[in-house]
Chain A
Amino acid sequence: MGNKILKKSEAFYDVFFRKPGDEKKSTTYCAGCGHGIIHKLIAEAITDLGMTEKTTFVSPVGCSVFAYYYFKTGNVEAAHGRAPAVATAVKRSHPDSYVICYQGDGDLAAIGTAEILHAANRGENITVIFVNNAIYGMTGGQMAPTSLLNQKTATSPFGRDEAEEGYPLRMSEIIATLDAPVLVARTSVHDIKNIMQTRKLIRKALNAQKDKKGFSFIEILSQCPTNWKVKPEDAQEWMEKNMLPYYKREVFKDILDQAAPVPHPKPRKEIAEIVELLALPEFKTRKDNGGETTLKTIRRETKFKIAGFGGQGVLSLGAFLCELAIVNHYHSTWIPSYGPEMRGGTANCSVILSPEEIASPVVQEIDILVAFNHPSLVKFHSNVKEEGLIFYNNSIINDLSEIMPYVRRKKIQLIGVDASNAADSLGDPRMVNVAMLGHMIKVYPYFQLQQADLLLEKKFSTKPRLVELNKQALRRGFEQDEMENIV
């Protein structure tokens, strides 16, 4: 079999060297198949428009899976239905090249519905050639989403029944409802007149891509005599009788006149700038930043659990503590609770600070618990080690009865911090975490307030008001009297 393409276009290989077997001059398509005609129209168009060298052809899964036997362009063969996704990325990699995404009706309108819709909706600057033959050709004549009502196929042997299988999908009409596409049309290749119209539309679509105008979509009604089970010479009649009444041939959308070419975005930054933004300030030594307090030294691995409501900033307090440790040349690790609790309103993080490399970041036994609310205090207190330490937000935690037996038994030091009130007095309850940190720094002067200031200035460099608020909250916490008198 194989219909000969007589006068070969420049965009076709002279000899189809990739085709297995001896027949290297003819195509794999059946007699009367529309794919061959459509290939020829595309090949001639890209030749005439001078696009051949710059074109990448994305083949579908379907009868035209072997389009790469014929087209003398770059080729990539996509998985069934995924051609628009593949084409999207090929085009975005080389925006000055041209990408043709060629798909059958099973490929585009069934398994690849999501991919085509979204590529169209994004307005990818590609040309989609959609070959609608109302049947699955390659796999042996099964029903396609575009098969007509009452059409008999291998999988609708009694005819397509809308009650069971729904109605034939009109993809052009659907695509034309989207804002982004610039050209959406349906045409056919069942006779010379319509082939000429198709020729014109393919060229229009390719020109649109050349002018960087965006997404164009040409649906082509095409013959499949083999699977329609008609003689090639009867295919025209079959199409006229069955397909043409249901599938209107028209230009559904053409906004090429209004569409402006899409420019390439320019880089706004160099990678070095991003790296610089992410860098923490550097202090040569722990005392190298003007602070006056003499710092204590962290001598052993210290494990924190910081817990509270979502919104109390427990995760960022933990991270902030780590940053303070890092600029003071300690090691640190931080793990958030990111489980379902996160949405349920409570949050916690595990922090380890250490003078040495930290083997495991996992905190199961706690040296220092920082609890912002009652449930967290109750939940974690019994993981605190003997002679450990608990900071708790005594603005809202009044009842310690549940934890006292354990606290006494394990000789745990309890420190109440009036953190929520400190934050509220500044008019911003979010400052509760920083107020807590201020007091922690007072009780355990491993870090200096000034170091915290510097970190805040870098972190919120575009929000000076927030820096000021944070600094004040730190100091409110720091200046509070120590309240470790409960036990």
Chain B
Amino acid sequence: MKSFLKGNEAVVMGSLLAGCQSYYGYPITPASEITHAAANYFPQLSRTFLQAESEVAAINMVYGAAAAGERTMTASSGPGISLMCEGLSYIAACELPCLIVDIMRAGPGLGNIGPEQSDYYQLTKGGGHGNYNTLVLAPNSVQEMLDFAIIGFELADNYRIPVIIAADGVIGQMMEPVTLPDPVKNIPEKEWALTGDKRAEYNLHTSIFLDHDQLEEVNLRLDRKHRQIMANEQLFESYRADDAEIILVGYGIVSRQLKALVNQVRKQGIKAGLIRPITLWPFPSKAFEEIRNYKALRKVIVAEMSNGQLFWDVKAALDNSSLEISLINRMGGNLIEDQDLLKEITNS
């Protein structure tokens, strides 16, 4: 059975199927359809939908719901995500699971509602204050918007970490056919949750530790968890890359353009391939360790709708290699022109 959904609707369906019990959000284009769909479906299922007074409040509601043991979520776009970074730091510090969807629009400041990928730094380097990371998934189709919500809640629970779905405006706005899976069963009990009964008597979620050594211990514990995630959860897609002379790197809508281009130039005899980061954090450095061994590879082209934010991570991952690395990017809400990419590929 197929349904034809917007990315923004699919991520809500995925969350509902994953057993998400509450949605707290504040409207912002191009993420508003998420709030609309949540407002429509959550109450019908007797789950909680609440339009918060701000993103500051929304993320703190998510903090409360996560502490209470629910699968819970919010969604926003750049300006709102900035406001959420305060709460995010507390949620990460308390090691609470939740899902946050960022439908990235063009910035900085108010920018515009066109698509960009410029929240990359904010999302992959923590965003709020303190030593923490969140797990960041970058879907490139409507089906993945749905699937990553389900996977996201699972990862969030497994690692007790906030998971962010980072999608550019196009992935949120586009429609594609999707298959809706069966609802997730057997969501694990959380013995640490504030359930408001005898079980929770000693349960506490706090991030204040006046004793320096105690707080350092908290940081070291987070650090160990981050390392474990970096070792085990890197995800990337490698497409026709093994024998490639040129490898294109991009995520989100850009990766779709790149894939089409790989197919197109392969027909003209140019050996191109694609590496698509699926987890933006942990950064899939394994992909880049692997391509170092590719005999034919000469050049890596990073394509992104931001000012080289992905580029510098790729550059770091390819540290000390003799490969040429270039950047093709657009900003301001513009998509990258296939022509520009083509030129860069054929001139290489």
Residues of chain A touching chain B, judged by Cβ–Cβ distance below 8 Å, are 18, 20, 53-56, 58-59, 65-66, 68, 72-79, 82, 85-90, 92-94, 96-99, 114-115, 117-118, 122, 264-272, 274-275, 278-280, 282, 319, 322-323, 326, 331-336, 338-340, 359-362, 364
Contact = CB atoms under 8 A, between A and B. Distances in A.
Given A53-B197, A360-B256, A335 B67 contact: no
Given A74-B194, A326-B2, 18 more contacts: A77-B204, A77-B205, A82-B56, A85-B57, A87-B64, A89-B65, A92-B65, A122-B50, A269-B45, A278-B180, A322-B177, A334-B175, A339-B112, A359-B256, A360-B257, A361-B253, A362-B253, A362-B338
19 contacts: A20-B214, A68-B206, A74-B194, A74-B196, A88-B61, A89-B64, A94-B194, A97-B195, A265-B46, A269-B44, A269-B45, A271-B183, A278-B5, A319-B175, A332-B4, A333-B174, A334-B174, A335-B175, A338-B29
Interface centre among A73, A89, A97, A280 (most CB of B within 10 A): A89
Given A361-B174, A362-B256, A88 B205 contact: no
A72 B200 CA distance: 10
A65 B253 CA distance: 45
Contact of A79 (B17, B52, B60, B210): B60
Contacts of B253: 361-362
Given A265-B46, A268-B44, A93 B69 contact: yes
B61 A89 contact: yes
A18 B174 contact: no
Contacts of A55: 196
Given A271-B183, A323-B4, A360-B257, A90 B64 contact: yes
B46 A279 contact: no
Nearest to A58: B64
Given A94-B68, A114-B56, A338-B113, A89 B30 contact: no
A54 B4 contact: no
Contact of A76 (B64, B197, B260, B335): B64
Most chain A C-beta atoms within 10 Å of own C-beta, residue among B4, B48, B198, B339: B4
Interface of B is mostly: mixed
A157 to B, nearest CB: 28
B22 A92 contact: yes
B56 A97 contact: no
A266 B183 CA distance: 20
Contacts of B338: 360, 362, 364
Given A265-B46, A336-B173, A271 B17 contact: yes
Contact of A115 (B4, B53, B180): B53
Q: Of residues A20, A77, A118, A272, which shows the largest number of chain B Cβ atoms within 10 Å of its Cβ?
A: A77
Rank and list the top 10 A-B pairs by shortest CB-CB distance, nearest first.
A97-B196, A89-B64, A93-B68, A360-B260, A359-B260, A267-B46, A77-B206, A85-B60, A86-B64, A94-B196
B67 A90 contact: yes
Contacts of B5: 278
A360 B335 CA distance: 12
A96 to B, nearest CB: 7
A339 B30 CA distance: 9
Contacts of A326: 2, 4, 177
A88 B194 CA distance: 13
B43 interface: yes
Secondary structure class of chain A's binding surface, majority of residues: mixed
A323 to B, nearest CB: 5
A68 B204 contact: yes
Given A20-B214, A362-B335, A362-B338, A89 B45 contact: no
A335 B132 CA distance: 35
A322 B4 CA distance: 8
A74 B57 contact: no
Contacts of A94: 68, 194-197
Nearest to B46: A267
B193 to A, nearest CB: 9
B260 A265 contact: no
Contacts, number: 240
Contacts of B180: 275, 278-279
A103 to B, nearest CB: 13
B174 A335 contact: yes
Contacts of B1: 275, 279-280, 282
Contact of A78 (B52, B60, B113): B60
B174 A98 contact: no
Interface in B65-96: 65, 67-70, 72, 86-87, 90, 94
B321 interface: no
Interface of B: 1-5, 13, 16-17, 21-22, 24, 29-30, 41, 43-46, 48, 50, 52-54, 56-58, 60-65, 67-70, 72, 86-87, 90, 94, 112-114, 169-170, 173-177, 180, 183, 194-198, 200-208, 210-211, 214, 253, 256-257, 259-261, 263, 333, 335, 337-339
Which of A58, A72, A282, A362 is most buried by chain B, counting CB atoms within 10 A of its CB? A362
A252 to B, nearest CB: 22
Given A74-B195, A331-B177, A274 B24 contact: no
Contacts of A97: 195-197
Nearest to A96: B196
Contacts of B256: 359-362
B49 to A, nearest CB: 10
Nearest to A340: B112
Nearest to B175: A334
Contacts of A20: 210-211, 214
B337 A89 contact: no
A362 B195 contact: no
A331 B260 CA distance: 15
A124 to B, nearest CB: 10
A54 B197 contact: yes
Nearest to A276: B1
Given A76-B194, A333-B176, A92 B205 contact: no
B200 A271 contact: no
B173 A338 contact: yes
Given A267-B45, A271-B17, A361-B256, A90 B53 contact: no
A50 B57 CA distance: 31
A76 B67 contact: yes
Nearest to B211: A20
A75 B112 contact: no
Nearest to B210: A20
A93 B67 CA distance: 10
Contacts of A66: 208
A359 B262 CA distance: 10
A74 B68 CA distance: 10
B3 A85 contact: no
Contacts of B94: 76
B4 A92 contact: no
A332 B17 CA distance: 24
A114 B52 CA distance: 10
B22 A85 contact: no
Given A78-B63, A86-B67, A364-B337, A278 B45 contact: no
Contacts of A334: 174-176
Contacts of B200: 56, 73-74
A377 B90 CA distance: 52
Nearest to B335: A362
